[in-house]
């Protein structure tokens, strides 16, 4: 049941989105999987529920930060694997309105994003370590609790399925138009000997997705239910090429963290530099993909200052270079990318963008484009990048005869994380 939205063009045009992982695990501040990593019992996890009071939560600021970073859509965790819900639901007491927060935290996020013109995405965990009918497996926090495992036969996944479907229906019904449903995740291939992983049959994914499509015919859904849908989601790695399934290219979106953790992780210092993240964005677009970049807010409801600084740096670069990202994709195969560069291509304008990951000495060779380049300019300031023509081919004895040669200054542009040359081409 592969179902593609009527018009996914907004998604492939946007290219950059915000991912938000937020929940009561932000109080623990040591990874969103802390409950299972540390085998925390329900009783020992309860203080995070009891003390969840995000008094500084300002989703308008989150949305402004995303917009300023050049993002055009935002996806937030409505429920993560620990089972805690940020939204108002009639199906559990394990929700934000019953904490000191005292309210639905998803609705103001949706309203803030819409006010900034951002598309809305809901992440929903298929997994639930809190629900009493979710059977214990090798990912479950109680996997080493022999007494709990002995009583696992009393758990009923059919009751959990009803709960899962009911909550997704609430999310698809109570918040207006939803543009993305990000389900997470299936693992039916896992086998721990004493238990097996869970997949589409456990979720009754076919029926679930039929319901979602009935409520939102144009929604985009990811691939993690084990039922082929609209886009694939490589996590924490960069694909080497445009992703293909059964020999055909597919829509894809790499989801990446700022520091290796999705939820707020106070002591994690593996922060990626803005330059690296910009190169990851460019690299993905050059292979036909999107980047969904994650921020894990604090327990008080703020983006970490380091996260905000990174988003601001990305936004500064996007302010001048978004033309090389939005609406762009992989360049035609006949275009040979220079070393240490990435090409992106805008099929609507016919413009080629050269992203320089390393600064070459004086000359940039665009093989195969000798008779195609009409004009070239730096994108950050619109200054011309001149072609070099030599009567004596001996100046470039190793250059291809069909190469366009661009003359570069000795120094790269000051303060530009990734310089970009916009190339205007003669029609073929």
pLDDT computed for residue 7 by the predictor: 87
The counts of H helices and E strands in the chain are 12, 16
Question: For helices 59-68 and 106-115, what crossing angle results, to 10°?
Answer: 40
- In degrees, rounded to 5, the angle at the alpha carbon of residue 106 between the alpha carbons of residues 103 and 107 is 80
Q: Hey, what are 201's tokens?
A: 């049959």
Over 70: is that where the pLDDT of 91 sits? Answer: yes
Q: Mean of the pLDDT values across residues 78-82?
A: 98
Tell me the pLDDT tens digit for each residue of 172-189. Answer: 999 999 999 999 999 999
CA distance 172 to 266: 33
- 424 vs 3 pLDDT, higher one: 424
Q: Mean of the pLDDT values across residues 400-421?
A: 95
Question: For helices 305-321 and 274-285, what crossing angle results, to 10°?
Answer: 50
CA distance 403 to 368: 5
Q: Mean of the pLDDT values across residues 356-371?
A: 96
Tell me the pLDDT tens digit for each residue of 196-236. Answer: 999 999 999 999 999 999 999 999 999 999 999 999 999 99
When the pLDDT of each residue in the chain is averaged and rounded to a whole number, the result is 96
Over 80: is that where the pLDDT of 393 sits? Answer: no
Q: Which CATH number fits domain 341-425: 2.60.40.1180, 3.40.50.1370, 1.10.1660.10, 3.40.50.11810?
A: 2.60.40.1180
Class assignment of domain 9-324?
alpha beta
Greatest mean pLDDT among 9-13, 391-395, 398-402: 9-13
Q: Hey, what are 289's tokens?
A: 């993909």
pLDDT computed for residue 47 by the predictor: 98
Where are the chain's structural domains? 9-324, 341-425
Over 90: is that where the pLDDT of 2 sits? Answer: no
Percent of the chain with pLDDT strictly greater than 70? 96
Report the phi/psi class of residue 193: left, alpha or beta, with left for phi > 0 and alpha for psi in -120 to 50.
left
Percent of the chain with pLDDT strictly greater than 90? 95
């Amino acid at each position: 049941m592969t179902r593609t939205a009527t018009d996914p063009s907004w998604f492939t045009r946007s290219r950059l989105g915000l991912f938000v992982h937020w929940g009561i695990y932000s109080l623990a501040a040591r990874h969103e999987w802390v409950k299972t990593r540390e085998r925390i019992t329900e009783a020992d996890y309860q203080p995070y529920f009891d003390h969840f009071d995000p008094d500084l939560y300002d989703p308008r600021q989150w949305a402004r930060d995303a917009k300023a970073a050049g993002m055009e859509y935002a996806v937030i965790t409505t429920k993560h694997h620990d089972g805690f819900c940020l939204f108002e639901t009639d199906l559990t007491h394990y929700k934000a309105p019953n904490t000191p927060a005292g309210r639905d935290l998803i609705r103001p996020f949706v309203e803030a994003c819409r006010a900034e013109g951002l598309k809305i995405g809901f992440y929903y965990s298929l997994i639930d370590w809190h629900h009493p009918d979710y059977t214990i497996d090798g990912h479950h926090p109680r996997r080493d609790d022999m007494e709990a495992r002995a009583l696992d036969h009393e758990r009923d996944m059919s009751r959990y399925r009803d709960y899962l479907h009911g909550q997704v229906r609430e999310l698809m019904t109570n918040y207006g138009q939803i543009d993305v449903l990000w389900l997470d995740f299936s693992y039916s291939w896992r086998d721990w000997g004493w238990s097996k992983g869970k997949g589409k049959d456990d979720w009754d994914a076919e029926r679930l997705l039929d319901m979602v499509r009935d409520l939102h015919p144009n929604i985009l859904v990811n691939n993690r239910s084990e039922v082929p849908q609209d886009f694939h989601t490589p996590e924490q790695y960069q694909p080497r090429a445009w992703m293909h399934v059964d020999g055909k290219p597919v829509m894809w979106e790499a989801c990446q963290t700022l520091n290796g953790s999705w939820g707020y992780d106070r002591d994690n210092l593996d922060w990626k530099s803005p330059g690296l993240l910009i190169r990851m964005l460019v690299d993905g677009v050059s292979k036909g993909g999107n980047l969904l970049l994650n921020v894990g807010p604090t327990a008080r409801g703020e983006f970490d200052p380091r996260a905000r600084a990174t988003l601001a740096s990305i936004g500064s670069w996007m302010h001048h270079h978004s033309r090389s990202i939005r609406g762009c994709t992989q360049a035609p195969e006949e275009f040979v990318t220079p070393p240490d560069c990435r090409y992106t291509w805008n099929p609507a304008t016919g413009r080629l963008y050269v992203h320089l990951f390393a600064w070459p000495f004086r000359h940039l060779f665009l093989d195969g484009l000798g008779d195609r380049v009409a004009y070239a300019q730096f994108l950050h300031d619109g200054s011309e990048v001149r072609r070099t023509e030599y009567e004596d081919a001996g100046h470039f004895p190793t250059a291809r005869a069909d190469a366009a040669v661009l003359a570069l200054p000795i120094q790269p542009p000051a303060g530009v994380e990734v310089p970009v040359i916009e190339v205007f081409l003669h029609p073929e």
